[in-house]
Chain A
Amino acid sequence: MKKIVSFAVDVATYALKGGIQYKVWLLFLLFFIVTGSYTAYIQMTEGLITVGASDQIPMELFFANFIFTAHVAAAAILVVAPGYFYHRKDMKELAVIGEIIAMVFVATGITFILFHMGRPDRLWHMIPFIGYLNFPNSMLVYDTIVLNVYLFLNLIGISYILYKKYIGEFDQQALARWFTPVIYLAIIWGPLIHICTAFVLSSNARMGAWSTAVMPFGFLAMAGASGPSLIILLFLLIRKHTKLHINNSVIDLMSTIIGWSLGIIMLVFAAEYFTALYSNTEHAAPLNYSMFGHNGLDMYVPWFWGTVGTIVVCFIAILNPKVRKSYDRWLPIVCVAVFMAILVEKPMMLVFPAFSPSPLGEYTEYHPTFIELYNVASTWAVGFLSLTFIVKGAVGILTGEVRYQKPEATT
């Protein structure tokens, strides 16, 4: 017990240490969390009328961001899998960071869903045996189950590895016995959370733009692009500011994955757009709307072309070895661009335009409210703050800076 307390204390104190830039970053996130608690309070007391959603577009920014968090969470296995499936020595040590990303992003996604729900206080209705789950009918039930299992799989994995390393009892043999199966399960589970999330959308026959079989493939490709972008940025920062050594080979693998994921995204988009646009039936109406607007409603048009353009440009850029090897300049820029493009794609291409025309032929534009945007920002701030803390603590343990000191004189 004493060891666990000292584990928590040591990791927390290490995570708070850092230079002035690090402190500013933490304060920046903290500002959004503190002020965001007020906008969250407004939304929780007055209801979803404070966000931009309506009966015509019932899914808001929270839902769109939730899909994005699932992208990144699923992609985190791309750090874990090479170490365990291909026995890459340079990546095995880093697997735990991949799991941290997965855990934090699933948790952030669940926070988004709390904002999305009309009655978050009734969440207990979804607890098996206490509430009632519409199993096996509702796709949301599957999604809830896979997300929570993924969260706990990663939580178990991370705490076990870090704790054992902290107290200096990390033993490969003992590890292999039960821990490796947990990791393997987590690796399989990553794509699963994503396929389920895609099915939550594509199971709605009325949503012409969504009832497409390529949805899970597109989602996995977007995961493969957005997740490694974040991972590269994180690894470059870790490498620059801490003593943890990360080989160039790791970064190169990630940038290769980004490149070909972008390629697959383009293929999926092309297949989807061709199928919709050649016959140009009512299934193509939402696509036409986001490409060219409808009777003067053209809010999504610049977002559509901007996002598609960014994806194409990033694909071409990352094929260039000079960009891939430019670790302190072009590669981070491409990574930020890819990350933002996929983040923006979710609400502005996937979710909002899909609701126009509505089943009764209404075209609507979605205008997020200030409270909605602020709640999204504060949820992201919570996510990135936890990511910063946990990754920092983990780096301390991996580099050996945080170690359990046996208490000698005291007690």
Chain B
Amino acid sequence: MSDDKTGTKNIKDDVNTSRRNFLKNVGVAGAAAVVSDNASANVPEETTNPDADITADEWLQGHFSLMSDKEKQEAIGRLEKRYSAKYKKKTTVANTPAPEGVLFGYALDISKCIGCRRCVHACVKENNQSRENPVVQWIQVLKIPKGNLAFKKDKLYDGYPSSSAMGDYGIQVGGNAYEPVGGLSTEHADSYYSDDEKVPDKNFFYVPVQCQQCEKPPCVKACPVRATFRDPNGVVVIDYNWCIGCRMCQLACPYQARRFNWGEPKLSAEEMNPKTHYFGNRPRMRGVMEKCTFCLQRTREGRNPACLEACPVGARKFGNLLDPDSEVRKVLATKKVFRLKDEMSTYPKFFYYIG
């Protein structure tokens, strides 16, 4: 067994050296071409694919949580090697354990949010999402019309049924029924307003939605292979190497928070963030699910999520729900807090408040 392993390692090293030489020869022009498209596709086919045996080992690996420490190290080694070769830069795949006695929570002030989508772009950058075809964004900002223009006098005599013996003012449904009134309703929400649009528009308010890190997550229940599960900090994570791509979790999620890699993710070497975590922002492959992890590659090391750092108006607060002095706890103690889609009984740890 161990002999076999060393054998493959040698082969791997040989191939990698030959590839390195090849790249040296191609030089700058080659590197530029690599940046433009999917990196691996642009490395010309060699007689033996440099990633082949790595991929076979990767394909055979079990569920990460069930691995021994040694297997985990090997799995991470494989990934680091593959990513470093693919993106032409030293990539680390951390396995930082979940900190003890911490339950992560997030709070977002919808009265402050201006809908600038800086959080969306910071998230894409931090978490190595596919940039195009498919475009993957973990945060979706809803633009919801305010109610100040909703009710109109000329609709007083509209409605359904439109005429009856009782008069023409809608016995069952009044004419002003279906107008947006500025409540947190998705009915008139638009999440596809242009990035160039001037924000905030005074007739709208903005609600960013991302994974709500439910305490009772329906997605975890639906996954047939436990590829997605709650970590000890209450964050729902995905083992991208264990996911079989059945999309049952996406079907179960009431927040539309999960994103599927419909095609090979397009992430250029330049834009790739090389500081990654196994359950967090490491580059994904085609055909697996992904979603917000509260930036666990950062938060497990005591830093704040990228979306929070990017927010220009301080609408986002993050912290340990078990610590009474944390910012989230202060929000929970002093503000009017609510959860999105409370009726789904998912008990999110992502709170919205009106500050």
Interface string of A370-391 (1 = CB under 8 A from B): 0000000000000000000000
CA distance A200 to B62 in the complex (A): 26
Assess the B256–A360 pair: CB atoms within 8 A: yes
CA distance A54 to B256 in the complex (A): 12
Q: Is A291 an interface residue (CB 8 A)?
A: no
Chain B hits for A205, CB < 8 A: 218, 252, 254, 344
Chain A hits for B246, CB < 8 A: 116-118, 140
Chain B hits for A49, CB < 8 A: 133-134, 262-263
CA distance A358 to B258 in the complex (A): 12
Q: Is B242 an interface residue (CB 8 A)?
A: yes
**Lowest 3 CB-CB distances: which A-B pairs, in order?**
A118-B245, A118-B287, A361-B186
CA distance A122 to B187 in the complex (A): 38
With beta carbons under 8 angstroms apart, the residue of A118, A133, A204 that contacts B288 is A118
Chain B hits for A200, CB < 8 A: 248
Q: Is B72 an interface residue (CB 8 A)?
A: no
Q: Is A310 an interface residue (CB 8 A)?
A: no
Task: List, sorted by A's number, 9 A–B pairs whose CB atoms are closer than 8 Å.
Answer: A46-B264, A48-B260, A49-B134, A117-B244, A119-B243, A123-B244, A126-B244, A204-B252, A206-B252
Nearest A residue (CB) for B264: A47
Assess the A359–B287 pair: CB atoms within 8 A: no
Chain A's nearest CB lies how many Å from the CB of B222?
A: 6
A118 with B218: in contact, given A131-B225, A359-B256 (CB under 8 Å)?
no
CA distance A362 to B188 in the complex (A): 9
Interface string of A110-142 (1 = CB under 8 A from B): 000000111101110110000111100111110
Interface string of B122-166 (1 = CB under 8 A from A): 000000000001100000101000000000000000000000000
Q: Is B63 an interface residue (CB 8 A)?
A: yes
Interface residues of A in 199-251 (CB under 8 A from B): 200, 203-207
Q: Is A368 an interface residue (CB 8 A)?
A: no
Nearest A residue (CB) for B341: A359
Q: Is B191 an interface residue (CB 8 A)?
A: yes
Interface string of A32-74 (1 = CB under 8 A from B): 0000000000000011111001111011000000000000000
Assess the A207–B251 pair: CB atoms within 8 A: yes
CA distance A54 to B133 in the complex (A): 11
A132 with B226: in contact, given A47-B263, A118-B288, A138-B248 (CB under 8 Å)?
yes
CA distance A140 to B245 in the complex (A): 13
Assess the A118–B286 pair: CB atoms within 8 A: yes
Q: Is A148 an interface residue (CB 8 A)?
A: no
Nearest A residue (CB) for B285: A119
Interface residues of A in 342-401 (CB under 8 A from B): 357-362
Chain A hits for B264, CB < 8 A: 46-47
Assess the B256–A122 pair: CB atoms within 8 A: no
Task: Count how many chain A residues have C-beta atoms less than 8 Å from C-beta atoms of the other chain.
Answer: 42
From DSSP, what is the main secondary structure of chain B's interface residues?
A: loop
CA distance A357 to B341 in the complex (A): 15
Q: Is B330 an interface residue (CB 8 A)?
A: no
Chain A's nearest CB lies how many Å from the CB of B182?
A: 15
Q: Is the interface on chain B under 10, 10 to 19, 20 to 34, or 35 or more residues?
A: 35 or more
Nearest A residue (CB) for B63: A132
CA distance A123 to B255 in the complex (A): 27
Q: Is B336 an interface residue (CB 8 A)?
A: no
CA distance A203 to B185 in the complex (A): 24
CA distance A58 to B245 in the complex (A): 11
Beyond contacts A58-B250, A132-B226, A360-B191: 19 other A-B pairs, Cβ-Cβ < 8 A, are A49-B262, A55-B259, A56-B256, A59-B251, A116-B246, A118-B245, A119-B287, A122-B245, A125-B227, A132-B62, A134-B223, A138-B222, A138-B223, A200-B248, A358-B256, A359-B253, A359-B254, A360-B255, A362-B191
CA distance A358 to B227 in the complex (A): 24
Q: Is B224 an interface residue (CB 8 A)?
A: yes
With beta carbons under 8 angstroms apart, the residue of B63, B187, B262 that contacts A53 is B262
Assess the B255–A119 pair: CB atoms within 8 A: no
A126 with B224: in contact, given A205-B254, A359-B253 (CB under 8 Å)?
yes
Most buried by B among A47, A58, A117, A119: A119
Chain A hits for B261, CB < 8 A: 47, 118
Chain A hits for B242, CB < 8 A: 122, 125, 132
Most buried by B among A53, A118, A140: A118
Nearest A residue (CB) for B241: A122
CA distance A126 to B243 in the complex (A): 10
Assess the B244–A139 pair: CB atoms within 8 A: no
Nearest A residue (CB) for B250: A58
Nearest A residue (CB) for B289: A118
CA distance A127 to B187 in the complex (A): 42
CA distance A32 to B40 in the complex (A): 33
Chain B's nearest CB lies how many Å from the CB of A356?
A: 12
Assess the A47–B224 pair: CB atoms within 8 A: no
Chain A hits for B222, CB < 8 A: 137-140, 203-204
Assess the A361–B224 pair: CB atoms within 8 A: no
Q: Is A256 an interface residue (CB 8 A)?
A: no
Q: Is B85 an interface residue (CB 8 A)?
A: no
Q: Is B26 an interface residue (CB 8 A)?
A: no
Assess the A55–B225 pair: CB atoms within 8 A: no
